[in-house]
Amino acid sequence: MEVIIKNDATTLSAYAARLIRELIRRKPDATLGLATGGTPLLLYRELIRLHREEGLDFSFVSTFNLDEYLGLAPDHPASYHQYMRENFFNHVNVPPANIHIPSGQIQGDEIPEYCRRYEEEIQRAGGIDLQILGIGSDGHIGFNEPSSALTSRTRIKTLSPRTRQDNAPFFAGPGEVPHHVITMGVGTIMEAHHIVLLAFGEKKARAVAETVEGPISALCPSTILQMHPNATLLIDEPAAGKLQRSEYYRWVFDHKPGWQRVL
């Protein structure tokens, strides 16, 4: 696990964008795993800039989003379909046929088969080369809430009261946040070749400290990233505030061999 601590979210988002740019240069038909929420907004803005100003070409790229609220139509203002169009897809050239976001409109007993097919499509695309993640204040990744099986696959989950509260600002009122979602599983996420987790703000400090320094536990699903061979954690100062060994992580980063540097 590589822990990179920098002052601000803009620098870290630019770093994540450069990792994606290098991947696409190396592998034009790369498969990206994408996240939503407040955290990756600056990353999407930077990728759009790289597309416009440097010609970063997404025309062979495929994307798979982590999750979607069940019960929301794709044009609902708080749906992740809408979020992705507004914040990324409307501004770059990913072919619509290559975009995959779990449907929020699958119902009842259709859900398991739908989730199985989502997994199959990831496999058909060759697996995820680089997965962007945020982290919940409760340590969720995707919408894998505390007590999620650490080997879980894409499936329906029930949101915790805390996540519903965290996400209420995106809805007309707290009661409007759906209770159920479809999310890639922890096991699905762990199969990505490279995982890049972004965490900004003091509200994430506890979850970040557990992820990096706590025991691996389903009660904080992000802790499983300690088992991933290629995970990069991009953390701003407030989110790094509860790490015991932050000086050590900075020291390691400062002594990184030149040939490994993207930042």
Residue nearest to ligand PGA (CB): 37
- Determine which residue in the list 125, 128, 135, 181 makes contact with ligand PGA, applying CB under 6 A: 135
Residues paired with 232 in a beta bridge: 2, 196
Question: What amino acid positions are annotated as catalytic residues?
Answer: 67, 138, 140, 145
Residue 213: left if φ>0, alpha if ψ -120 to 50, beta else—which one?
alpha
CA distances (Å), origin 242, targets 201, 209, 253: 11, 6, 19
Total residues interacting with ligand PGA, rule: CB under 6 A: 6
Q: Which stretch binds ligand PGA (CB under 6 A): 32-40, 69-77, 114-122, 234-242?
A: 32-40
Mention every residue, 6+ apart, whose C-beta is less than 8 A from residue 148.
140, 157, 185, 186, 218, 221
Give me the 202-241 binding string for ligand PGA, x by CB under 6 A, dash otherwise.
----------------------------------------
- CA distance linking residue 90 with residue 222, whole number of Å: 30
Q: Which stretch binds ligand PGA (CB under 6 A): 107-115, 133-141, 174-182, 223-231?
A: 133-141
Mention every residue, 6+ apart, whose C-beta is less than 8 A from residue 193.
127, 128, 129, 130, 230
- Regarding 38 and contact with ligand PGA (CB under 6 A), the answer is yes
Mention every residue, 6+ apart, whose C-beta is less than 8 A from residue 175.
none
- Determine which residue in the list 33, 136, 139, 185 makes contact with ligand PGA, applying CB under 6 A: 136
Per DSSP, the three-state class of 105 is coil
Give me the 85-124 binding string for ligand PGA, x by CB under 6 A, dash otherwise.
----------------------------------------
Interface with ligand PGA (CB under 6 A): 37-39, 134-136
